[in-house]
Structure 1
């Protein structure tokens, strides 16, 4: 893992860089990162209009993760509608920084935010057609709920090349994760 990661809420000026990061992570050439979906979709994963809408959306915060020497290396979107469940989406790590702990750090950050907001569970959807990604999330405590959703074609996330399905995963909010995150970064670095 990089020596220092700084996580902060995204601002409008961050949007162009986030679009590049997210599209490289999700739709970049397969040889560059293990999380690419380029073989499953046509088109970009996101665009500036979609991310600007997220910045204005109620109950939603898009986070940037920076490494001082490298700049923007990751992102995660957290949505907490009324209730005790926080939704995790748009977890993205620059392909050259994948497998170095940045994604794990961002999930710990999500756990910390959920605990701070008194949520009891974290929820996400993951493509059923990505068993390697499902296994990665399982190792971080996310388990299938049994719910399956069709991929929402026309939702602005690219066009599927085949019928796709989303599995709903959940995990309980963990105090252990919060303690681990405090070891990874000083509280002032999370502001």
Structure 2
């Protein structure tokens, strides 16, 4: 019997979160899944210090998804005014396409409704068409706003010019 749970991350989770996020977004391991950014960016997606800083921010909550005690997914949620910003949605490359991402997003949406947020917002790299389509199937829409990709190696080293689109789903 599979037991799964979604809970709030603590600083004890930082090493596992760091491994999970980087394995899903960058490097060869990420290419096992469909959410890899390895063809777009070099470098790491996050580091332990960045995750600790996020967890110490009272406006940020990181949810973790575990199955049979194994960390398979996470998402960062940040209060931004009346909106809840969703970022760093991660599912282990080996577990992608099993519905974990849908479960994590559903939990984020439940939190947004319970806490009366206006919308969930996010930024997505504009050339990630499959990911944008995945969010659109869940009711998220592009707002028309675009933002530059950060010129900061802590977020990766672009292999081509990149920008974000802003997406949202009204609650």
**Contact in 1 for aligned 2:31/2:38 (Cα 8 Å):** no
1:39 alignment partner in structure 2: 39
State the Cα distance separating 1:114 from its structure 2 match: 0.6
Query: Matches of 1:124 and 1:5 in 2, distance apart?
Result: 26
Query: Matches of 2:145 and 2:64 in 1, distance apart?
Result: 29
Stretches of structure 1 lacking an aligned partner (at least 5 in a row): 174-191
**Contact in 1 for aligned 2:76/2:87 (Cα 8 Å):** yes
Query: Matches of 2:82 and 2:159 in 1, distance apart?
Result: 35
TM-score normalised by structure 2 residue count: 0.95
1:176 alignment partner in structure 2: none
User: Over aligned residue pairs, what C-alpha RMSD do you find?
Assistant: 1.4
TM-score normalised by structure 1 residue count: 0.85
Q: Which structure carries more strand by proportion? A: 2
1:66 alignment partner in structure 2: 66
Query: Matches of 1:140 and 1:114 in 2, distance apart?
Result: 15
1:9 alignment partner in structure 2: 8
State the Cα distance separating 1:3 from its structure 2 match: 4.4
Runs of 4+ in 1 over 4 A off after TM superposition: none
Instruction: Please give the secondary structure, in 1, of the residue aligned with 2:45.
Output: coil
Stretches of structure 2 lacking an aligned partner (at least 5 in a row): none
Select between 46-55 and 154-163 the one with higher mean Cα deviation: 154-163
Instruction: Please give the secondary structure, in 2, of the residue aligned with 1:80.
Output: strand
Count of aligned residue pairs for this structure pair: 170
Query: Matches of 2:77 and 2:32 in 1, distance apart?
Result: 26
Instruction: Please give the secondary structure, in 1, of the residue aligned with 2:102.
Output: helix
